[in-house]
Copies of this chain bind each other. A is one copy, B any other.
Amino acid sequence: MTSTPEAGPPRRVAIVGTGLIGCSIGLAAARAGLEVAGYDADEGAATGAARAGLTVAGSLEAALEGSELVVVATPIEAVCDVVVAALGRAPAAVVTDVASVKSSIVRAVAARGAPLDRFVPGHPMGGSERSGPEHASASLVDGIAWALAPTPATAPASRALVEAFVRALGARPVELDPERHDRLVAVVSHLPQVASTALMDLAAAEEADEPELLVLAAGGFRDLTRLAASSPGLWSAILLANREEVARAIDRYVEGLVRLRDDVARGDAARVEATFASAKAARLGLAAKPQVRAGVAVVQVPIPDRPGALAQLTGGLAERGVNIEDLQIVHSPEGGSGLVQVIVAATAGDAALEALLERGFDPVRLA
- The answer to whether residues A235 and B310 also contact, given A254-B258, A257-B198 and a CB cut-off of 8 A, is no
CB neighbours (8 Å) of A5 from chain B are none
A201 touches B282 (CB 8 A): yes
A321 an interface residue at 8 Å Cβ cutoff? yes
B282 touches A204 (CB 8 A): yes
Query: Complex: how many Å from CA A14 to CA B315?
Result: 40
Number of contacting residues on A, CB 8 A?
Answer: 140
CB neighbours (8 Å) of A71 from chain B are none
Q: A174-221: which have CB < 8 Å to B?
A: 174, 176, 180, 183-185, 187-189, 191-204, 206-207, 210, 212-221
Q: Say which one of A35-43, A80-88, A237-245 lies at the interface with B.
A: A237-245
* Residue among A194, A216, A249 with max Cβ neighbours from chain B (10 Å): A216
Query: Complex: how many Å from CA A202 to CA B187?
Result: 8
* Least Cβ–Cβ distance between A28 and chain B, in angstroms: 10
Query: Complex: how many Å from CA A343 to CA B305?
Result: 13
Q: Of B183, B254, B269, which is within 8 A of A236 by CB? A: B269
Q: List 13 A-B contacts (CB under 8 A).
A: A189-B221, A192-B224, A193-B220, A194-B257, A194-B264, A196-B224, A201-B279, A224-B224, A225-B279, A240-B272, A307-B324, A311-B314, A327-B327
